[in-house]
Structure formats: C-alpha cells, structure tokens
Amino acid sequence: MPQRVTINSRQRRFLKISEALLEVQNEQNEVDSEVNPIDWAATATRELIIKNQLSGALNIAFSDKWVRYDLVALGKMNLSDAESASLARAQFNEQFPDALDWPLRLTRHGEQLLVAGINPLLLSAAQQISVDCKYRLNSLEPWFVSMWNKHEKTIRQLDGWLLFEEPEVLLVARIKQGNLVHLHSQPFDDNQRESSAQLFLDRQSALLEHPPGLVHIFTYSGNQLKLKAPWHSVQSGEAWPRASNFTLSSPD
C-alpha cells in the first residue's frame, strides 16, 4: 500500500522540475484494504501539485513493487527490435502469467535483454496527472531504473554484486564487464532488513555459483546495511529525493 507521496521541486538550468515519489511503505497503522493503491497515489500527487501551485516538468519514480523484471539471454544473436520484443513477450508471459497485458520496456545489456513490465494502471494514472495538472511528463521509471540511470557511469565500471534496497523490496544484481547479467527481486520485512539482505545475497550467490564478496549497496533511506563476512559492502548512491518539500501521507 503506498502510504506516502513526496514532491521535490527544484530549479535546473532555468527549468522547474518537480519530482514525485510514489512510495510503498508499511506502517503500524493499517489503511483500508479496499483503497486502490494507484488511485490513492495519483490523487495524492494531484493534490500536492495543485496545493503547492507547482508547474513545469514532472519526473515520477515509483516502487519496484509495481514492476516485474526478467532477463532474456540473447547470446550473440543480432535480433531486430520486433524480434526482440516478440521473444521478450513470450518469456515474460511464461514467467508472469498474472501480468500478460503489462507493457514492456526493453534494454540490451551485452548478451542479455532486460525486460521490465510496468502495471498499465500506473502508467495511465501518471499520464492523466500530467494532463490534469498541465505538466510535461519527463520520465516515469521504477526506483531501480532511476538509480541505475543516475549512477550508470559508476555502475558500468564495476564487476560483481549490487544490492538495491527500498521500502519492502530488495533487488540483487550482478554486473560483468559493465553489463547486467543477473537481476532478482523479492519482498522483505523492513524490521529485518539486514538479516533479509544477508540471506538474499547468500541465496543468489549459491544459485549463480558466484562467490560472495564486495557488494555495492544503494538504499532509498540512505541508512547503512551491515553485512556479515564473507560479504563486505560499500555504500553507493544516495537517498532519493534529496529533500522533501511537500509530503502527503494517507490517513491512519
């Protein structure tokens, strides 16, 4: 359940940009289970934009809980865009039968094709927000993609493990020669973040038969994760957004 939407408004080269974060976060007080999470987040975003008289361009980052990821092995195949899309759709539908109608975004990473399926209701809600509030929608991307794009130059120089931690979601990635060769996500209990991260990394290491070691960690909160040997970590990136100008939380 997304219980908070944060708007960060700032100037960049004479262009006013407002960044909206649609966050999924469990809190002690339960929210009405009948509330549609996407509807709530969209309404909250509109209210913040209108209340604070914001204008300009809009970038939206949202929780990876609303995304399904898959990696398709292409090898040396040189496929057309249409062939890549067809292959990605076939494998994605087999992997996620609950998301057959979700639109896909494809990115080539060496011999792998990263496939991201995004909840279509979320896409429609974001597009409608931009129309209603007379915004230009600059970007709409999951938090993992947002952080990857922001730190791509650094990430592509790495070889080894990456861990992305956001509220209730962990993503483990492995980078080889600057390309993404493995990506897996799972939910976790925020109250057991360190033990969950440790266990998740151990399992992925065993699955890939790739030894544990240095892992670069990107956290939404900015709080450090302490891992036990043989893992040792480097805290990378920063919490997003840097500053929260306006926040709207759902009622208790």
Tens-place pLDDT, residues 165-218: 988 899 999 999 889 999 999 998 878 999 999 999 999 999 999 999 999 999
Distance CA(60)–CA(81), nearest Å, equals: 26
Within 8 A by CB and 6+ apart from 63, the residues are 2, 22, 23, 24, 142, 143, 166, 167, 168, 169
Tens-place pLDDT, residues 13-68: 444 455 556 544 333 334 455 678 888 888 888 888 887 777 777 888 888 988 99
Q: For the whole model, what pTM was predicted?
A: 0.82
**Over 70: is that where the pLDDT of 244 sits?**
no
Phi/psi class of residue 62: alpha, beta or left (left: φ > 0; alpha: ψ in -120 to 50)? beta
pLDDT at 26: 36
pLDDT at 38: 85
Backbone angles phi, psi at 152, to 5 degrees: -60, -40
The DSSP-derived string for 124-166 is HHHHHHHHHTT-EEEEEEEHHHHHHHHTHHHHTT--EEEEEEE
**Over 70: is that where the pLDDT of 90 sits?**
yes
